[in-house]
Amino acid sequence: MPDAGVADLAESIAAGERRALARGISLVEDEGPGFEELLDALHGRLGAARRIGITGPPGAGKSTLTAALVRHHVEEGLTVGVIAVDPTSPFTGGALLGDRIRMTELATEPGVFIRSMASRGSVGGLATATREAADLMDAAGYDRVLLETLGVGQSELDIAASADTTAVVLVPESGDGIQAMKAGLMEVADLFVVNKADRPGADRLESEIRVMMAIRGGNALEAIRSHHGARIDRPADTEDAGEWAKPVLQTVASDGRGVEELAAALDRHFEWLNGTGRLERRRADRRLRRARDALLRLAGGDVSRVWQNAPSQLSDRLRSNELSPYAAARELYESWRIALRPGG
């Protein structure tokens, strides 16, 4: 049963109070007292927001594209939450001052809520905290929740994969586009964006992406055809997306070119998910994974307590290398089993 403070906070978040939302996200990020009760209390209000992952290598212009999407949605009359987990993003203070100032301006718009997430010590902590921050924005009534993450690294890809729709952003002439794609980006993409498309090489990159998709889809002939100029206009990815053909779009986020088309493609993907029943299945699967993560976190809390209360002679023996880490862990584990007894 949530205590009064947490219940009040949940109510204020559900009522759309910005300061309550900010407080709630901090509580979740810090795993502060009552954070799980808060998430539990708001659980029934989830599901209205569309969660969109924007991911790609550093320098792809993800933040500028995110900002452009926010502006587009605001003009449509929608409310938007943004979570930036990219340490190189201007949202998180990681880029040039000019960019950061523009992002800060955006954050003062009514109907826009921007939050950056710092990397945390605990294993898997960042991905979990990010998903939970997205939950709070969802519960607070935001129509769209945009998750900007670096598309390199396992936990970062986990975040991207937690969205309903994930856009992978690449730039021409980076030379690393295709290389970076191999690092799992191909798998998480529901659509591709060739950003900074006013640079030379945009068409070539688009064509390379189509070739790679065709190869993944197992259609080598189509891959070769595509490489020789003929565009693929039917589904390239047949792995698990069924009849969804991953679009490849070109944008120039800095002047807004292609952003409307991107928003439309994101909407189309969401409608496809929803229409085919995949949305509900994906979200149900995610609830199961979330429960498992929550259980692991409860166990992790126990581990932390056991560790903090470990006898100092144990850490001395570890430091002096008398005891291996595995033997020490086994010793602590056994004592923990005893301590875990209900009522113990």
Contacts of 32 (CB under 8 A, 6+ apart): 26
* Residue with Cβ nearer its own copies (101 or 123): 123
Report the nearest approach of its own copies to the CB of residue 12 (Å).
Answer: 19
* Residue with Cβ nearer its own copies (184 or 258): 184
Q: Give residues in contact with its own copies (CB under 8 A).
A: 36-37, 39-40, 43-44, 57-59, 87-88, 94-95, 119, 123-124, 126, 150, 152-156, 174-176, 179-180, 182-184, 284, 287-288, 290-300, 302-303, 306-307, 315, 318-321, 324-330, 332-334, 336-338, 340-342
179 with 57: CB under 8 angstroms?
A: no
- CA 81 to CA 18: how far, in whole Å? 11
* Residue with Cβ nearer its own copies (78 or 303): 303
* Residue with Cβ nearer its own copies (104 or 324): 324
The Cα angle at residue 17 between residues 156 and 37, in degrees rounded to 5: 60
Count CB atoms within 10 A of the CB of residue 198.
Answer: 13
Report the nearest approach of its own copies to the CB of residue 113 (Å).
Answer: 23
Alpha carbon 104 to chain centroid distance?
A: 21
* Residue with Cβ nearer its own copies (74 or 314): 314
Report the nearest approach of its own copies to the CB of residue 218 (Å).
Answer: 18
Report the nearest approach of its own copies to the CB of residue 234 (Å).
Answer: 28
Report the nearest approach of its own copies to the CB of residue 284 (Å).
Answer: 4
Pick the closest to residue 199 from 228, 174, 230 (CA basis).
174
25 with 82: CB under 8 angstroms?
A: no
- CA 265 to CA 54: how far, in whole Å? 13
